[in-house]
Amino acid sequence: MAARTVPAAVGCSIKFLLRDAVLASRQICRLSAGCTGRGYTSWRTCSSSASSGSPESPAADVSASAEAIGHYDRLVQCGSLRNDAQQRHVLQQLAQLQHTLKKYSNSTYLSPPPPGLDSKDGSSQLGKDNDPYITAAENKGGESAAKEEPTPRPPKGFYIYGDVGTGKTMLMDLFYSHVENTLKKRVHFNGFMLDIHKRIHWRKQSLPKRKLGKMFTYDPISPVAMEISHETCLLCFDEFQVTDIADAMILKQLFETLFKTGVVVVATSNRPPDDLYKNGLQRDTFLPFIDMLKEYCHTICLDAGIDYRRLDKVASGKLYYLTGEPGAEASLDALFEELALRQNSVTGPRVLTVLGRDLTLEKSCGCIADCTFDELCGRPLGASDYLEIARLFDTVFIRHVPMLTLALKDQARRFTTLIDNFYDNKVRVVLLATAPLDRLFVHSGGEDERDRQLLDDLGLSGEAAERLTLFTAEEEIFAFQRTVSRLMEMQTESYWIKGDRGHGKTHMNT
């Protein structure tokens, strides 16, 4: 049985991998046009063809403020999308913001750098004198700070939330691609917060050494926010979520500065604003951020009750194997060897450098990595590690994924972060798991000894363990629905082709 299974699985997957990406895109567009079960993923592949729709098309004659709507209509006509009334309503509102941002600049909300003030010890005024991103308004001691004329409020952004697979990211990307403003940035929220922490760390590291007997305080969060405000006036976030207390504690101050300096935010999330950081540690200090978010962003619910990712039926061969299947391990071995033939490299370990430390993957070949679940999620890795893997590899094998219980919630959290970052960077995955995808995470598993130790360390009662998400794994359970939905899409033909970075490229073994 194994001898018959391996060639079928390998051949089917390799057929899509080796296909010319341009021709494949056109073929999928034609295939989708005649398909009654139109999928969620094809819009990415078809969009380049659909965007050049014929002049006779009714959707082609759209105003400048509705270019994204016209693009959406062409994707519907192409067959890549279903016509969804809720999606169209959201896109119409985004189109109005798109028109506003065409000539928008947040420069009027940015005060000029404060004049330098002499300081005897050169350090006590560090946060106010030597930082070019502190505004004159923030420099309370600056006598020359002039009173500013009242300025109109910046345009409101959008916070779009709803269930998994409803098209939130797709709509945001359509909107973003049609915004004619060079000062824009689209990023996964995990990546954004990593960048924030890096900037904060860099500023703290660059402080001069404190002289004996000289004390000063320096808060880098506002300067970091000002730095970003000078770089962009539109920030688009995918998967806005708050699970980390370190993030929760800085968000209010960070976004207060971003909003007041005219940065427009468009974000997608699975949670409504009031549920962000739900049951998190010290959530009371986080609540003002929610009020501020709702003040500066329109809140829209996009939830038609359909997970469009599950409607895409064109599978890219067999990419999800069960441990108990005969020949499953041999199938992965054969598929890896077939993919490795394209690489100008040899198979062996690969050492990655992430934030100054080494991360070793035991088996790789060019842009293909063959890893175990324990290698990726059993170690204390995070988004920065997974982003680096996503940067270097376009295909990752993940073997021996266990059934994830509450006792393995740390590993489950890492797995969700891993898939989020892989999905956002179009990394293709091949999995060997203990259980089917929809039964991979079970909401049981008993107590965790580390949880009991953490309760003691924090001085919390057993009641806290029943309420706080740090112990209940509520956030992991909620987020795993997104993981399942994304893994479903990641097994489709269109995703597999889209993730092929090898077309016309040479991968260096570095």
Question: Considering the domain boundaries, does residue 422 fall inside one?
Answer: yes
**Residue 449 and residue 394 in one domain:** yes
pLDDT for 80 equals 80
Question: Tokens representing 343?
Answer: 């690489």
Q: How far apart are CA 301 and CA 308, in angstroms?
A: 16
Place of tokens 């409020």: 153
**Residue 461 and residue 321 in one domain:** yes
Question: Considering the domain boundaries, does residue 8 fall inside one?
Answer: no
**Residue 266 and residue 159 in one domain:** yes
**Residue 291 and residue 368 in one domain:** no
Question: Considering the domain boundaries, does residue 98 fall inside one?
Answer: no
Ramachandran class of 167: left when φ > 0, alpha when ψ lies in -120 to 50, beta otherwise: left
**Residue 275 and residue 375 in one domain:** no
**Residue 271 and residue 339 in one domain:** no
Question: Considering the domain boundaries, does residue 97 fall inside one?
Answer: no
Backbone angles phi, psi at 301, to 5 degrees: -100, 125
**Residue 349 and residue 487 in one domain:** yes
**Residue 325 and residue 474 in one domain:** yes
Written as tens digits, the pLDDT of the chain (510 aa) is 333 333 444 444 444 443 433 333 333 333 333 333 344 334 433 433 333 333 334 333 345 446 788 888 898 888 888 889 999 999 999 999 999 999 999 999 986 544 443 333 444 344 444 454 544 344 444 444 445 556 788 999 999 999 888 999 999 999 999 999 999 999 988 889 989 989 998 888 887 776 655 555 678 899 999 999 999 999 999 989 888 888 888 999 999 999 999 999 999 999 999 999 887 878 888 999 999 999 999 999 998 788 887 775 566 678 999 998 999 999 999 999 999 998 989 999 999 999 889 999 999 999 999 999 999 999 999 989 999 999 999 999 999 999 988 788 889 889 999 999 999 899 999 999 999 988 888 866 555 555 555 445 555 555 554 454 544 556 667 778 889 889 998 998 888 888 888 653 433 333
**Residue 277 and residue 381 in one domain:** no
Q: How far apart are CA 231 and CA 225, in angstroms?
A: 10
Side-chain half-sphere of 125: how many Cα atoms within 13 Å?
18
Between 409-424 and 474-489, two packed helices, what is the crossing angle to 10 degrees? 40
pLDDT for 217 equals 67
pTM over 0.85: no
Strands 368-372 and 357-365: antiparallel
**Residue 133 and residue 198 in one domain:** yes
Last residue of a domain, one of 259, 276, 301: 301
Range of the domain at 369: 314-498
Question: Considering the domain boundaries, does residue 31 fall inside one?
Answer: no
**Residue 235 and residue 323 in one domain:** no
Question: Considering the domain boundaries, does residue 509 fall inside one?
Answer: no
Q: How far apart are CA 363 and CA 369, in angstroms?
A: 6
Question: Considering the domain boundaries, does residue 82 fall inside one?
Answer: no
Q: How far apart are CA 268 and CA 455, in angstroms?
A: 33
Last residue of a domain, one of 301, 334, 364: 301
pLDDT for 241 equals 85
- How far is the first Cα of the chain from the last one, in angstroms, to the nearest whole number? 39
Cα dihedral 268, 270, 273, 278 sign: negative
* Domain tally, the chain: 2
Q: pLDDT tens digits for 194-212?
A: 899 899 988 888 877 766 5
Question: Considering the domain boundaries, does residue 288 fall inside one?
Answer: yes
**Residue 253 and residue 348 in one domain:** no
pLDDT for 456 equals 53
CATH number at residue 183: 3.40.50.300
Last residue of a domain, one of 258, 276, 301: 301
